Amino acid sequence: MSLTDVTTVPVGGPSLAQERRLVTAIPGPRSQELLERKADAVPSGVGHTVPVHAVAAGGGVVVDADGNSLIDLGSGIAVTTVGNAHPKVVEAVRAQVAQFTHTCFMISPYESYVAVAESLNRLTPGDHAKKTALFNSGAEAVENAVKIARKHTRRSAVVAFDHAYHGRTNLTMALTAKAMPYKSGFGPFAADVYRAPLSYPYRDGLTGPEAARRTISVIEKQVGADNLAAVVIEPIQGEGGFIVPAEGFLEELVRWCRENGVVFIADEVQTGFARTGEMFASDVFGIVPDLLTTAKGIAAGLPLAAVTGRAEIMDASHAGGLGGTYGGNPIACAAALAAIDVFENDGLIERAREVGAVLTRRLRALQVADPRIGDVRGRGAMIAAEFVVPGTGEPDAALAASVARASIAEGVIVLTCGTYGNVIRFLPPLSIGDDLLNEGLDVVAAALNAAQ
């Protein structure tokens, strides 16, 4: 079996034709052939949402192996925020790969790792002294944040939240709330992890301070502040359904953590890097986390993740306690420095707000016309619609799945999420044009109208 003939594959990046173009059914014959190979070679546990094989991507589109061009409203789950194959990232990666590909930072350090750390220390909330350690994935960053918090506090308990998602490694499965598909059958899980209620304004009707009081009471009664190393929370939940806590909830939780010597860890793996219309979601609420984890958007698709935080907490670990063979790989660091340049200098925070305004306006208009959309929420270019049974507000996962499936069949990549599977989330690359964004939303609207 040969790989796709490279002479027929379009070059990715923003020069790709910015259009939705269906030349076959989805999936087309070439994608079908590749999906059969996938089924034979790759375990069924590694699923896929969109039944096509990608060959190029850029701007606001993904081109598949049959020449179909799909509108991308998912960014590979909030990763290609600067746009796929962004020219600055491509150039930086090309230059680095020709220079050296790996030394292992723990063996022979190099400047780009330090430069990424300096950028994150500068960009993350708070003007206190900070340090950053780099890793490969979001889950690895969260694991390390917990390790660091435990070492610093000499306590072991960790609190995570209802609807949380933090990854698929053993500790992060324990932190993650949803059993299916993330945890079911994969236990036993890491010990000393406790779950607390979140603020979910659409479903609990509580103000932020009320929700915080409930949460703090659960933590104090079931864990005890003296035993608690860290609270780990996504300031706006990602996989859990783009849940934005009520105003005052996070602020109150940060205050309580500080009063009790508990490390407040903001997991910004999904929300980081301009996605929410601020550089970080913590900035949306004006909170300053003790530690902050990032990944996804940080390096435009190359595997990189980070823990950034108060220098005295980050320095708690003994020498050699943190790291990994590939953590802060030089190619990923080159990509990150290029991506950070784009985030800072190419108006991406502003663009996220514009994209968010289009998404919110269009989805709210749909909601007014269709009571099956119970809630439209999010910040910046991270907006979701929650589908419900009108009258009862019961989650309607079947409707969300059917709208997503029909949209994909018409050449628009959308993702579902939520504990109940009844949320469609919109996370377009910020390189998408308004025309394409609106066309994508037209397709989603038509899919909703057609769904029974």
Which parts of this chain interact with ligand PLP (CB under 6 A)?
A: 77, 137-139, 142, 165-167, 234, 238-239, 267, 269-270, 295
Of 31 and 294, the one with the shorter C-beta distance to ligand PLP is 294
Minimum distance, C-beta of residue 164 to ligand PLP, in the bound complex (Å)? 8
Minimum distance, C-beta of residue 124 to ligand PLP, in the bound complex (Å)? 16
Q: Is the four-CA dihedral 380, 386, 387, 391 of positive or negative sign?
A: negative
Question: How do 228-233 and 157-161 pair as beta strands?
Answer: parallel
Minimum distance, C-beta of residue 158 to ligand PLP, in the bound complex (Å)? 14
Of 175 and 314, the one with the shorter C-beta distance to ligand PLP is 175
Peptide bond into 303 cis (omega under 30): no
Minimum distance, C-beta of residue 137 to ligand PLP, in the bound complex (Å)? 4
Closest CA to 435 of 127, 60, 28, 96: 60
The pair of structure tokens assigned to 35 is: 């999906």
What is the Rg, in whole angstroms, of the alpha carbon atoms belonging to the chain? Answer: 22
φ/ψ (deg, to 5) at 323: 140, -150
Identify the DSSP state of 250: H
Of 137 and 419, the one with the shorter C-beta distance to ligand PLP is 137
Task: State the amino acid at position 155 in one-letter form.
Answer: R
Minimum distance, C-beta of residue 235 to ligand PLP, in the bound complex (Å)? 10
Of 77 and 115, the one with the shorter C-beta distance to ligand PLP is 77
d(C-alpha 79, C-alpha 97), whole Å: 21
The pair of structure tokens assigned to 71 is: 């509108």
Of 56 and 279, the one with the shorter C-beta distance to ligand PLP is 279
Alpha helix (H) residue ranges in 346-396: 348-369
Alpha helix (H) residue ranges in 183-224: 201-204, 208-222
Of 238 and 440, the one with the shorter C-beta distance to ligand PLP is 238
Of 78 and 388, the one with the shorter C-beta distance to ligand PLP is 78
Of 138 and 330, the one with the shorter C-beta distance to ligand PLP is 138
Minimum distance, C-beta of residue 452 to ligand PLP, in the bound complex (Å)? 31
Provide the edge-to-edge strand list for the sheet that holds 305-310. Answer: 130-135, 305-310, 291-294, 263-267, 228-233, 157-161, 193-196
Of 143 and 252, the one with the shorter C-beta distance to ligand PLP is 143
Identify the DSSP state of 154: T
Please state, as a whole number, how many other Cβ atoms lie within 10 Å of the Cβ of residue 30. 18
Minimum distance, C-beta of residue 270 to ligand PLP, in the bound complex (Å)? 4
Beta bridge partners of 386: 375, 423
Q: Is the four-CA dihedral 286, 173, 198, 242 of positive or negative sign?
A: positive
Q: How many Cα neighbours within 13 Å face the side chain of 54?
A: 19
Minimum distance, C-beta of residue 159 to ligand PLP, in the bound complex (Å)? 16
d(C-alpha 77, C-alpha 92), whole Å: 23
Minimum distance, C-beta of residue 392 to ligand PLP, in the bound complex (Å)? 29
Nearest residue to ligand PLP, by Cβ distance, number only? 138
Minimum distance, C-beta of residue 25 to ligand PLP, in the bound complex (Å)? 30
Beta carbons of 58 and 14 less than 8 angstroms apart: yes
Beta carbons of 303 and 329 less than 8 angstroms apart: yes
Identify the DSSP state of 419: T
- Vertex 191 angle, CA 186 and 194, to 5°: 100
Of 383 and 445, the one with the shorter C-beta distance to ligand PLP is 383
